[in-house]
Amino acid sequence: MLTGVADGGAKIEDISKGSSNPQGYVAGLNNPGDSETLKLTNVPRKPGYSLIVRYANNIANDGFAAKRKLGVVINGVLDQQRLVFPETLTWEDWAQVAMKVQLRPGSDQLSLACVDNDAHHDACHINIDWIQVVAVDQ
């Protein structure tokens, strides 16, 4: 399991049950600038990687329950594609989403970041239980 740094308003919380991490999960990803950043080391040369995130997404502090998205920033570059998080039944129901990412051999910095304005209630407001990066051969 990777560990990271919560930036902006992101913080470690343990209010909702079901997290697999005894220290809690990342919450507070509510506004642009809020993020969870991981430092990846000893990254082997592979054709690609799968970024897998265990999350919860329900009625947020904006009063809406909706499919949400976060930006994926790798080595300071925002991916054109957003990671999309379908709604879960409650904040205690956890699901997984994945997307392919490209990493460079050696060291990388990967952030899940609140980068979009939330005017349409489709950005941010996700709780993250864990993040996993897995090499893929295709």
Considering the entire predicted model, what is its pTM?
A: 0.89
Q: Which of 73, 46, 68 is nearest to 57 (CA)?
A: 68
CATH homologous superfamily of 4-136 equals Galactose-binding domain-like (2.60.120.260)
Q: Is the confidence at residue 124, as pLDDT, over 60? A: yes
Q: How far apart are alpha carbons 75 and 64 in whole angstroms?
A: 32
| Ordered DSSP codes for the chain | ---EEEETT-EEE--SS--S-TT-EEEEE-STT-EEEEEEEEE---SEEEEEEEEE--S-TTS----EEEEEEETTEEEEEEEEEPPPSSTT--EEEEEEE---SEEEEEEEE--S--TTS-B--EEEEEEEEEEE--
| Per-residue model confidence as pLDDT tens digits over 39-93 | 888 889 898 999 999 999 999 888 888 899 999 999 999 988 899 999 999 999 9
Mean pLDDT (whole number) for 26-32 = 87
Domain ranges of the chain: 4-136
Mean pLDDT (whole number) for 95-114 = 93
Q: What is residue 1's predicted lDDT score, i.e. its pLDDT? A: 42
